[in-house]
Structure 1
Amino acid sequence: MARPGSQIGTGELGARLRDLRESRGLTQLRLGRALGVAVSSISSWESGAKLPPPTRLADYATFFAAGAVSEGLPPENALTGEQREERLRLKQELDRMRTASDEPGETEARQDFWHFPDGGPVRIVTGGLSQKHWSPLGNPGEPNFLSLARCADLDAAVELFGHVRAANPRSQVEIRLEDLGDDDLRAHLVFLGSGATNPWVEWLTAEWPVRQVPDDGIADGSVFEIDGERRLTPVFRGDQLVEDVGLLARIPNPNNLRRTLTFCSGVFTRGGFGAVRSLTDLELRERNLAHLNDNVADLNRFGLLMRVPVMRHVTGTPDLQNPANRLYEWQPRT
C-alpha cells in the first residue's frame, strides 16, 4: 500500500509497481513474460512515462496476490479466499494511484524523456572551459563574477535547465560546474560535454562500446570511436562546421539505482546541444520520443549517436525517425 504520509501522484504508481516487482526479486524481463507484455511496457510503467491500462493493473493484482512466483499469470479461480481478498485490496490501491496520476498537466510530463517521476534532485553537470578561454567575468576575483562564464556547454545547459524544471516542478534542479558532493552523486545526473571538458564522463563511460578520443584531424574536439576501431567525425564545408555528431545515452545511477545518469555530448558543443534538443525541441521531441519508445527496450539503458546539422552557425534538431540521422545505437551492459 502507499507509504504513510506519501503523496499519491505522478511517480507513486510507477514506484509501487517497481516495489512489487523487486519484492519478488524479479527482473523486468521475467515479469513481462509472466504478464504477457513487452519489457518496454514494464519499464515505461515503472518510470511513469506511461500509465498501464486498468486491465494490466488487475493482472498485477492477481499475480502478486498469488504469492509464489510463477512463470505465468494464474487464473483468478485458482486463488484461495485469502488471496482473493489480497487481490481486491491491491487492485483498489493501484486503481486509486492510477486515478490520482491523472492530474491536469501531469500526463504530458509523464511522457517527457526529461521527467523523473520519483521527484528526486536533478544535477545538470557541465564541463569547464580552460582558463585561456574564460570570459573576464569568469575570474572569481572579478566583482561581476559569473560562475557560468566558465561553462563549456552553456547553450545546452540553459536549454535543458528550463525544460527539466518545467517537467519536474517538485524536484530541486541545479546546474553544476564539475563540482559534485556525495549527495549529488545519488541524484539524477545529466552530464554535458565530452571527457575532454567533463572528467566525470570518461570515468562513467569506461565500459561502453563508444568513447571520445582525440583525433589528429580534429582540433578542439574529441571524436567518437566505436569498439576501438570505427570513428565518427564531423563534417566541414571549408572551415565551417555543417554537421556534428551528438551522443544521447542513459544508464541507471550506480550510486542509486532508482535514479539515472544521462549523457549529452558531441565532438563539438553543437553535437551536445543537438542531443539535448532532440528531446526538448517543441516541434520534434514527440516524434523523437515516439521513435525511442518504439525501438528501445529500456529507456534507462540505451545509447545513440546522431547527426546534428549546423546551418549558418545555428544548431539544428535531429529527426530520429530519419534513419540517416541515427549513426549508431546500443544497449549498455547491465
Structure 2
Amino acid sequence: MADSGQALAHRLRQLRVQQWPDKRIKQPQLAQALNVSVPLISSWENEANPKVPPVSRLEAYALLFCSHRSLRADDLVPLAEAELTMEESQLRDKLLQELLDLRAAALNHGPSPSSAPAVANPWQFDDGRQVVIVCTRLPDSWLARMPYVDPDDPHHIELYTYADLDSLFELHGHIRAFNPASEIRRHTAKELEPDDLTSHLVLLGGVDWNDLTTDVFQVLDLPVRQINDWESENGPYFSHGDRHFSPTLTDGMLREDVALFYRGPNPYNSRRTLTICNGMYGRGTLGVVRALTDTKFRDRNTEWIHERFGDGEAYALLSKVRVVRGQVITPDWTLDELRLVEWPD
C-alpha cells in the first residue's frame, strides 16, 4: 500500500511542478484553486506518509491540469467543462483515469471502476493505420444555390460541398485524439482512391447520396435496409424483416430520427475496419456519432457494446435519436426503449 500511495503522491506533485515547463505551480496557488488548505496539499504529495485524496479532488486536479488556459496571470483557475476543447477534454479524461487507478491501487481496491470504460472506445484503433472518413457530397441542384462552392471562386470553401458537416466536425476531432499516430483523412465517395478503400473506413450518411454506403450495404448483406421512399405518404424508413422504423415529424419538424451504427471488417481489406453512422436525416447521423464521442454517454455506450456483442467481429445497432427544440439528444444505448434492432440477434 505504501508503494501505491507513493506513486499517487509522486504523480500529484509531478502535475503541480512539471505539467507546464514554463510555469511551476506553488502549493498555495493549487490550494486556492482547489479551495483546500496548503497542509492538505502537502499531505497528498507526501511520499513518506501519503494521504489519499477523495475522488472529487482528483476530478478537480484533472480539470485544472488538462489545459494551459487554467493559468491566468499568477492565479490557477479551473475552466468549466463546457469551455474545454476536444483535445483538452480528452486529456482531462486520460488524467482522471490515471489518477483514479493510482488511488484505487493505493486503497488496495484493484483497478478503478471509474468514468473511463474497461474496453477501448470503438473510435480507438490502436494500430497507427490510416483512417478515412467518407462523407456525402451535396447534390449539384443544391450546390447551384450556394455561394463559395465553385472551385474557380476566389472564396471557394470545399467543405461547403459536404453533407453531415456537424457529424464530420464532431467525429474528426475525436478520431484524431484517440489515434494520434494515425493519419486521418476525409473525402467524398467520388474522391476516393484504392488506398483509401483499404484503410479503416468510416461512412457518414445514408444510401441516398453516399454511393459507397449503397455499395457496402449490398456487399455486406446487412439485416437492416434503408428505404429512401421520400415521395410516399409514409416517407423513408429502415426495415428489418417485416418491421419498419420511420422518423417522427410533427408539423414538418423532426422530433425523432432513426439511425444505424455498424462495425465490422472492411470488405475491401479484412485487416481494417468498416464503421457506418447513418441516420435518415443529418441529425440522426450526428446522434449516432455522438453516442460514442459525447463525454456524458460514450463510456457507458462503449461498455454496453462490449457487454452486448463481446469480441464479435461485426455488429449493428439501430436506435432512436431524439430531437428536442431542434437539438440532438445523444442516445443512451443502455435504455431499452431507444434500441430498435440489435444484430447479431
TM-score w.r.t. structure 1 length? Answer: 0.64
Q: Is the 8 A contact 1:194 1:265 kept in 2?
A: yes
- Aligned AA (2:269): N
Give the Cα–Cα distance (whole angstroms) in 1 for the partners of residues 290 and 232 of structure 2: 24
**Aligned mate of 2:250, from 215, 237, 248:** 237
Give the Cα–Cα distance (whole angstroms) in 1 for the partners of residues 236 and 128 of structure 2: 34
Q: Is the 8 A contact 1:194 1:222 kept in 2?
A: no
Q: Is the 8 A contact 2:266 2:274 kept in 1?
A: yes
Q: Is the 8 A contact 1:247 1:263 kept in 2?
A: yes
Residue aligning to 2:158: 147
**Aligned mate of 2:201, from 189, 195, 199:** 189
In the TM superposition, what is the alpha-carbon distance from 1:104 to its structure 2 partner? 7.8
Give the Cα–Cα distance (whole angstroms) in 1 for the partners of residues 296 and 188 of structure 2: 30
SS of the residue corresponding to residue 123 of structure 1 reads strand
Residue aligning to 2:212: 200
SS of the residue corresponding to residue 320 of structure 1 reads coil
Asked if residue 129 in structure 1 is aligned to residue 142 in structure 2, the reply is no
Residue 105 and residue 161 in structure 1: after superposition, are their counterparts in 2 closer, same or farther (change >3 A)?
Answer: farther
In the TM superposition, what is the alpha-carbon distance from 1:261 to its structure 2 partner? 0.5
Residue 136 and residue 170 in structure 1: after superposition, are their counterparts in 2 closer, same or farther (change >3 A)?
Answer: same
- Aligned AA (2:214): E
Give the Cα–Cα distance (whole angstroms) in 2 for the partners of residues 187 and 243 of structure 1: 33
In the TM superposition, what is the alpha-carbon distance from 1:318 to its structure 2 partner? 0.3
Give the Cα–Cα distance (whole angstroms) in 1 for the partners of residues 216 and 243 of structure 2: 21
SS of the residue corresponding to residue 304 of structure 2 reads helix
Asked if residue 119 in structure 1 is aligned to residue 137 in structure 2, the reply is no
Residue aligning to 1:60: none
> Considering only CA atoms, is the larger Rg found in Structure 1 or Structure 2?
2
Give the Cα–Cα distance (whole angstroms) in 2 for the partners of residues 148 and 300 of structure 1: 33
Residues 108-117 or 154-163, more deviating? 108-117
Q: Is the 8 A contact 1:246 1:271 kept in 2?
A: yes
- Aligned AA (1:120): R
SS of the residue corresponding to residue 117 of structure 1 reads coil
- CA root-mean-square deviation: 2.4
Q: Is the 8 A contact 2:135 2:210 kept in 1?
A: yes
SS of the residue corresponding to residue 331 of structure 2 reads coil
Deviations 1:77-126 (A, max 9, x none): xxxxxxxxxxxxxxxxxxxxxxxxxx989986962210011111000100
**Aligned mate of 2:306, from 293, 302, 308:** 293
Residue aligning to 1:172: 183
In the TM superposition, what is the alpha-carbon distance from 1:298 to its structure 2 partner? 3.2
In the TM superposition, what is the alpha-carbon distance from 1:193 to its structure 2 partner? 0.4
In the TM superposition, what is the alpha-carbon distance from 1:218 to its structure 2 partner? 6.3
Residue 149 and residue 278 in structure 1: after superposition, are their counterparts in 2 closer, same or farther (change >3 A)?
Answer: same
TM-score w.r.t. structure 2 length? Answer: 0.62
Give the Cα–Cα distance (whole angstroms) in 2 for the partners of residues 197 and 216 of structure 1: 13
Give the Cα–Cα distance (whole angstroms) in 2 for the partners of residues 315 and 328 of structure 1: 20
- Aligned AA (1:205): F
In the TM superposition, what is the alpha-carbon distance from 1:188 to its structure 2 partner? 0.2
Residue aligning to 1:326: 339
Residue aligning to 2:170: 159
Q: Percent identity?
A: 37
Q: Is the 8 A contact 1:125 1:189 kept in 2?
A: yes
In the TM superposition, what is the alpha-carbon distance from 1:258 to its structure 2 partner? 1.6
Asked if residue 226 in structure 1 is aligned to residue 240 in structure 2, the reply is yes
Asked if residue 260 in structure 1 is aligned to residue 260 in structure 2, the reply is no
In the TM superposition, what is the alpha-carbon distance from 1:197 to its structure 2 partner? 1.2
SS of the residue corresponding to residue 148 of structure 2 reads helix
- Aligned AA (1:213): I
Give the Cα–Cα distance (whole angstroms) in 2 for the partners of residues 114 and 257 of structure 1: 17
Give the Cα–Cα distance (whole angstroms) in 2 for the partners of residues 118 and 106 of structure 1: 22
In the TM superposition, what is the alpha-carbon distance from 1:257 to its structure 2 partner? 1.3
Q: Is the 8 A contact 2:230 2:236 kept in 1?
A: no
Q: Is the 8 A contact 1:245 1:305 kept in 2?
A: yes
In the TM superposition, what is the alpha-carbon distance from 1:210 to its structure 2 partner? 1.0
**Aligned mate of 1:213, from 210, 227, 231:** 227
In the TM superposition, what is the alpha-carbon distance from 1:214 to its structure 2 partner? 2.1
In the TM superposition, what is the alpha-carbon distance from 1:308 to its structure 2 partner? 0.2
SS of the residue corresponding to residue 138 of structure 1 reads coil
- Aligned AA (2:142): H
State the number of aligned residues.
229
In the TM superposition, what is the alpha-carbon distance from 1:215 to its structure 2 partner? 2.0
